[in-house]
């Protein structure tokens, strides 16, 4: 197995030394790295997906932790002759090289631009040449994920103009097309179109394709690279449009993937979580609270069950962070649209433990509640970006927070409107029928104003779904007949399955604890 290759220790100068003191030599290749690239190259040529996955997921991380904690890997020029100067492998190696750099160090502007150029070269090869490879889904997802992340990182970096040096400004002017938003969107869209993934998924529904059943792999000797990159690019497009604040377009890009079913996106945990996080957030911003609650509930229950198996994964911290952010988003959804019946007991108990007190205060609809909405949204929202090029005229100003402030303002405006309707729901929960006059008297308004409030309530508790149909988010509804308001409240469905699941998890924990006890 790839994970068991005997990678030798590198010289001690590589370990626990600051990069500046180290005198990093990009041309020095330790023997363990030679062995790594030679074996990885061979497995890619042989289409040995299992071994590629082991080397990519385990060996690369092991070597990074042992030899390159705070330095880059050897340059591609230094390893190229070990892999016959293979162009595609060198592009893949550089993609990993830059990913490691972003994760462990702080990239310079020139390195950010070089990474863009490498992605352009790699993607051009995949799109316009015959790539006869099978790569693990994890690697292909990481490519799309990192591509979008580096775009987001570049936009944030570029927007901090205040302390830029003259050299950095000159580079930004010279390479003004690097990480251009249209270039990023065009590559992702090109993968979707060139791979014919939308048609493949349609044919699969009619029994004509076996894409999901094989997790996207091609067992007939072909390549999975273009098809799976096309598939994950739909998730990438959703993420980019969420960063831009265009939620409707983002959800439209994801339509070919049926997220109510298992799919290739669920075969990689990072993809699964990123898909539902952005899908749920987009629905929240479009007032489709029920859909957001339903999907957040499912993914949070899934993470609760499987996170223990990913403790040693390099993605574990990201899993926990997204888990906490989605609990915050779920708290927002349930405060704006009380639909506790949609939430499993396990998720609900975790939610109450984390945000129970804050959710109680959010129901009061005062300034304190408003501040909590602000706090939770700021913690859980994506890092919004302004994709436009900066103004290079003096004085230089930072604008990296502008997009976030705009989205926060729009969200809080919606919350403020919901706060005005809080009294209506309180009274409707109490009565099954009540006259307009009586309710107007209770609310201390005249009847025309009350009718306006009731129309607003109807509007705010309904949204338009992806099919253009009007859907209700309310746990209670009403209609008016001859100046009488008739309230219709939905009855919660009792769920028993979750109780048994919790007991099973509890028993499994007890059995694990008992197995650890050594009997004398």
Instruction: For 403-442, write each residue's pLDDT tens digit.
Output: 999 999 999 998 888 777 767 777 777 788 888 888 888 8
Which tokens is 468 given?
Answer: 């253009």
Query: What is the phi/psi pair of residue 336, to 5°?
Result: -80, -25
Bridge partners, residue 489, by sequence? 476
- For residue 473, the number of C-alpha atoms closer than 13 Å in the C-beta half-sphere is 28
Q: Are 376 and 328 in contact (CB under 8 A)?
A: yes
Instruction: Give 214-258 pLDDT, tens digit per residue.
Output: 888 888 878 899 999 999 999 999 999 999 999 999 999 999 999
**Looking at per-residue confidence, does 20 or 256 come out higher?**
256
pLDDT greater at residue 504 or residue 252: 252
Question: What's the pLDDT score for residue 19?
Answer: 38
d(CA 62, CA 154) in angstroms, rounded, equals 28
Half-sphere exposure of 245 (CA within 13 A, CB side): 14
- Residues contacting 382, CB < 8 A, separation 6+: 239, 242, 243, 278, 281
Side-chain-side CA neighbours of residue 113 (13 Å): 14
Distance CA 330, CA 375 (A): 14
479 three-class SS: strand
Average pLDDT, the chain: 86
The pLDDT of 452-476, averaged and rounded, is 74
Sign of the C-alpha dihedral, residues 248, 250, 254, 259? negative
Convert the pLDDT of each residue in 150-200 to its tens digit: 999 999 999 998 888 889 999 999 999 999 999 999 999 999 999 999 999
Tokens of 398: 């930072």
Give 25's DSSP letter.
Answer: -
pLDDT of residue 495: 59
Q: What is the DSSP letter of 80?
A: G
180 burial class (0-12, 13-18, 19+ CB within 10 angstroms)? middle
What's the pLDDT score for residue 384? 96
Lowest mean pLDDT among 249-253, 362-366, 488-492: 488-492
Q: Residue 9 in contact with residue 36, Cβ under 8 Å?
A: no
pLDDT category at 312 given cuts 50, 70, 90 is confident
Could you give the count of Cα atoms lying within 13 Å of 313 in the half-sphere of its Cβ? 16
Handedness of CA 54, 56, 61, 64 (dihedral sign): positive
Q: What's the pTM? A: 0.85
Give residue 371's pLDDT band: very low, low, confident or very high (50, 70, 90): very high
């Amino acid at each position: 197995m790839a994970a068991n290759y005997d990678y030798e220790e590198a010289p001690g100068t590589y370990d626990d030394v600051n990069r500046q003191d180290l005198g990093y030599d990009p041309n020095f290749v330790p023997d363990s790295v030679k062995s790594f690239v030679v074996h990885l190259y061979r497995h890619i040529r042989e289409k040995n997906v299992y071994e590629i996955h082991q080397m990519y997921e385990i060996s690369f991380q092991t070597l990074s932790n042992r030899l390159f904690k705070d330095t880059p890997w050897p340059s591609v020029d230094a390893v190229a002759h070990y892999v016959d100067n293979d162009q595609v492998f060198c592009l893949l190696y550089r993609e990993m090289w830059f990913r490691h750099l972003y994760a462990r160090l702080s990239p310079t502007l020139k390195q950010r631009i070089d990474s863009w150029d490498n992605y352009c070269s790699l993607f051009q090869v995949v799109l316009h040449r015959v790539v006869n490879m099978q790569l693990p889904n994890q690697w292909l997802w990481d490519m799309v994920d990192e591509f979008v992340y580096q775009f987001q990182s570049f936009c944030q970096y570029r927007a901090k103009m205040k302390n830029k040096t003259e050299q950095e400004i000159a580079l930004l002017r010279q390479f003004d097309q690097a990480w251009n938003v249209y270039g990023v969107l065009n590559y992702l869209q090109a993968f979707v179109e060139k791979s014919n993934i939308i048609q493949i998924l349609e044919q699969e529904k009619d029994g004509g394709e076996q894409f999901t059943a094989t997790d996207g792999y091609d067992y007939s000797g072909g390549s999975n690279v273009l098809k799976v990159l096309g598939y994950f690019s739909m998730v990438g497009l959703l993420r980019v449009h969420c960063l831009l604040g265009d939620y409707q377009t983002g959800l439209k890009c994801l339509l070919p993937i049926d997220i109510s079913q298992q799919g290739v996106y669920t075969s990689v945990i990072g993809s699964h979580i990123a898909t539902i996080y952005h899908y749920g957030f987009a629905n929240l911003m479009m007032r489709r609270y029920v859909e957001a609650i339903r999907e957040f509930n499912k993914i949070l229950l899934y993470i609760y069950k499987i996170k223990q198996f990913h403790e040693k994964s390099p993605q574990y911290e990201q899993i926990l962070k997204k888990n906490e952010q989605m609990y915050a988003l779920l708290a927002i959804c349930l405060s704006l649209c009380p639909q506790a019946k949609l939430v499993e007991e396990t998720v609900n108990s975790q939610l109450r433990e984390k945000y129970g007190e804050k959710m109680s205060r959010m129901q009061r609809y005062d300034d304190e509640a408003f501040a909590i909405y602000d706090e939770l949204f700021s913690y859980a929202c994506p890092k919004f970006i302004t994709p436009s090029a900066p103004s290079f005229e003096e004085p230089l100003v930072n604008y990296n927070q502008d997009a976030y402030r705009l989205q926060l303002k729009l969200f809080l405006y919606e919350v403020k409107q919901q706060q005005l309707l809080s009294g209506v729901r309180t009274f409707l929960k109490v009565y099954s029928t009540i006259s307009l006059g009586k309710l107007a008297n209770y609310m201390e308004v005249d009847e025309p104003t009350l009718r306006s409030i009731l129309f607003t309530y109807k509007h705010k508790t309904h949204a338009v779904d992806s099919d253009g149909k009007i859907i209700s988010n309310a746990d209670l509804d009403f209609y008016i007949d001859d100046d009488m308001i008739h309230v219709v409240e939905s009855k919660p469905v009792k769920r028993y399955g979750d109780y048994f699941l919790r007991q099973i998890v509890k028993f499994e924990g007890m059995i694990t604890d008992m197995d650890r006890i050594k009997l004398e």
